[in-house]
Structure 1
């Protein structure tokens, strides 16, 4: 089995993706997906908890920044970190549209210490992304409740059932500085 920091890193990497993916339209829509990724880019911060398994009850916080991928392709690049107590784990993800779905990776992908994004679909107010690491299959669902709040659930497949293992609630971070001009 994986060590506790390793499991937390993989799980938080998966929800980190969700933090920047939020909501959109079907993957085939191209321009609408690109607009969506631009909409959810920015700074996100918030608490999470492992809700099932060996580390049930472990709480963490994440601070993540997302930006749309360069060029005409739809997708997002994510960087940041998640913290469990005094331990700080770097987080990164790259997700890009490929045909009618999405591909990408968290951290260094399933060949390293991360996860692969193997599928994806964006809808009105949520995104569902298929994740994989060797024999572990799962999904991440991110639902944008409003422009500044996103809830994320990461589930893994156990036999024929999807079991939620991580829950996260992120808030968009904005500057409170008033900007204007003087006539």
Structure 2
């Protein structure tokens, strides 16, 4: 259970993780792509498991997101999250699939991760549906401002969505290249 819950953290991505799926794909695509380009970069910050057996476990993540290179909207996320002396690699890929999104955290539900089965971008927020066997849930990633992102991962228990993981990431401004004027 711990590794399953801890692997949910990879859902940041991001990495970073809404309702524009109701809009036509042609008009949503540029807006969605702009969102993922905005959240690309290096992020770091603390999180906590807020429910379940490991409630109260605190961790820190360092993640780098890169907007997908092709025409579709999406993001690739890599990095690590650390609990004490233990370090867990994190990775995710979220890509536009018609009006929604698909992808995976870590190696997907077939391995030790999760599948991304749906999703949408709305303004400064992305919501993706996550799945692993009978575990269903959602990851919500929203920008509080251009350098702060809040992420909540919730799982469905009976008819309720229960928050399980909360995370606040700050953009790592030290990694941004700075030029000079000659």
Same fold (TM over 0.5): yes
Shift of residue 8 of structure 1?
Answer: 4.1
2-structure distance, mates of 1:178, 1:157: 44
For 2:97, the equivalent position in structure 1 comes to 98
Shift of residue 70 of structure 1?
Answer: 1.6
**Structure 1 residues 32-54: Cα deviation after superposition (integer angstroms, max 9, x where no partner):** 21122111100000000000110
Give the match's secondary structure for 1:44: strand
Shift of residue 178 of structure 1?
Answer: 5.5
Give the match's secondary structure for 2:90: strand
**How many matched pairs?**
176
| Residue number among 8, 13, 29 corresponding to 1:11 in the alignment | 8
| Residue number among 17, 20, 39 corresponding to 2:16 in the alignment | 20
TM-score, reference length from structure 1: 0.90
Checking the alignment, whether the CA contact within 8 Å between 1:108 and 1:114 is kept in structure 2 is: yes
Map 1:1-183; keep pairs closer than 5 Å. 2=1, 4=2, 6-14=3-11, 16-21=12-17, 26-27=20-21, 28=25, 29-175=28-174, 179-182=179-182
**Structure 1 residues 1-34: Cα deviation after superposition (integer angstroms, max 9, x where no partner):** x2x2x134322112x224334x8x8252112211
Any gaps of 5 or more consecutive residues in structure 1? none
Checking the alignment, whether the CA contact within 8 Å between 2:16 and 2:151 is kept in structure 1 is: no
2-structure distance, mates of 1:82, 1:42: 16
Checking the alignment, whether the CA contact within 8 Å between 1:107 and 1:114 is kept in structure 2 is: yes
Calculate the aligned-residue CA RMSD, in Å. Answer: 1.7
1-structure distance, mates of 2:91, 2:39: 16
**Structure 1 residues 61-111: Cα deviation after superposition (integer angstroms, max 9, x where no partner):** 000000011211111111000000000010111110000000000000000
Give the 4+ runs in structure 1 shifted more than 3 A: 176-179
TM-score, reference length from structure 2: 0.91
2-structure distance, mates of 1:178, 1:166: 34
Checking the alignment, whether the CA contact within 8 Å between 2:35 and 2:121 is kept in structure 1 is: no
Any gaps of 5 or more consecutive residues in structure 2? none
Shift of residue 152 of structure 1?
Answer: 0.8
1-structure distance, mates of 2:48, 2:58: 4
Checking the alignment, whether the CA contact within 8 Å between 1:17 and 1:106 is kept in structure 2 is: no
